[in-house]
Amino acid sequence: MTRSALPSSEITPESVYLDRRRFLAAAGVLGAGLVVAPALGACAPAAADASQQGSLGTPYGLQPYDKPNSYEDVTSYNNFYEFGTGKEDPKANAQQFTTKPWTVKVEGLVSKPGDYQLEDFLKPSKMEDRIYRMRCVEAWSMVIPWRGVPLADVIRRAGPTSAAKYVEFTTLYDPKRMPGQGMRYLDWPYNEGLRLDEAMHPLAMLVTGVYGRDLPNQNGAPLRLVVPWKYGFKGIKSIVRIRLTSAMPKTAWSEAIPSEYGFYANVNPEVDHPRWSQATERRIGQFRRIPTLMFNGYADQVASLYSGMDLRRNY
Ligand code: MTE
């Protein structure tokens, strides 16, 4: 549903929403999910540092450039190749896509496999609002207030067996409803994967909403993955299947162009994409480029997942 189609009473103005977030953050109510002050290191530009000192040191301090993007930015500049390859295509082409009813299949190395209606699948979990920095591999970024449930919750309920090492996610395959699937630029359906310990990390989320409203189709309705320390292509949209496996799953982009996209997809300013630098990024809606932070600024929370790994080889 587009914003204009919503009755105005249902829209929380962004300013009110964000003021509420600031209040909750100041009160210490919010968990680790809220944007945490990135540790400004050698890569931060000197001029920017001085103006940012004020927000450092507070556990939930936002950088000035970490202002959440507008609802308009978040829902009109998208990647969702099932609805076209241009940034404006998903919004233009996904409006008629129906997401009710929606079934999620849980299978593989779990004690409780099954087909679940989305509502039943999510109901036992507590919905949470979290603002995350999101970094696309194309060197642009946004700050997005998501609503969803911890992925770990859902996986725990499925009961992974001791042989489970990875989690594979798959998007709906239905070329009649997703016209881009008639084109062969990816090997449909889109899929993605995480190592089980990555999937169990408290920052990883299954998302159903943005800015406190249901996800618009172009953002991956009704259910998508959000992994804020990885490049955006990990954030698979319109998920219909979650499978626990012992072998590393194939992923859409690493299958399509293995020399450019790896399984890990961790945001790493030190490893350039073969065709462009990853050292800086353009925050949508801002003019100045900003430094890209290791693990997208979530190093304190997630770096230990990769200790001992060569992150140049495992890109
Ligand atoms: N999921 C599916 N099924 N198809 C896609 O083309 N694009 C990915 C990811 N999830 C994609 C997808 C990429 S490249 C990005 S950057 C993010 O979705 C964009 O999410 P957003 O449009 O909500 O910002």
Question: What local confidence, expressed as pLDDT, does residue 62 receive?
Answer: 61
Question: What local confidence, expressed as pLDDT, does residue 21 receive?
Answer: 52
- Which range of residues forms the domain containing residue 182? 16-306
3-state helix, strand, coil in the chain (%, to 5): 30, 25, 50
Domain total for the chain? 1
Q: Which atom of ligand 1 is least distant from the CA of 74?
A: 24
In a domain, 2, yes or no: no
In a domain, 11, yes or no: no
- Reported pTM: 0.84
- Ligand 1 neighbourhood includes 232 CB (under 6 angstroms): yes
Question: What CATH number corresponds to the domain at position 256?
Answer: 3.90.420.10
In a domain, 6, yes or no: no
Nearest to 219 by CA among 121, 120, 97: 97
For the segment 190-223, what is each residue's pLDDT rounded down to a tens digit? 999 999 999 999 999 999 999 999 999 999 999 9
94-127 burial string, b = 16+ CB within 10 Å, else e?
Answer: beebebeebebbbebbbeeeeebebeebbeebee
Q: How far is the CA of 28 from the centre of ligand 1 (A)?
A: 32
Q: Which residue has the tokens 């062969």?
A: 184
- Ligand 1 neighbourhood includes 170 CB (under 6 angstroms): no
Amino acid at 136: C
Nearest to 291 by CA among 74, 42, 60, 44: 44
Amino acid at 216: P
Q: Are 179 and 83 in contact (CB under 8 A)?
A: yes
To the nearest whole percent, how much of the chain has pLDDT over 70? 80
For the segment 266-288, what is each residue's pLDDT rounded down to a tens digit? 999 999 999 999 999 999 999 98
For the segment 144-168, what is each residue's pLDDT rounded down to a tens digit? 999 999 999 999 999 999 999 999 9
Return the higher-pLDDT residue of 38 and 145. Answer: 145
In a domain, 10, yes or no: no
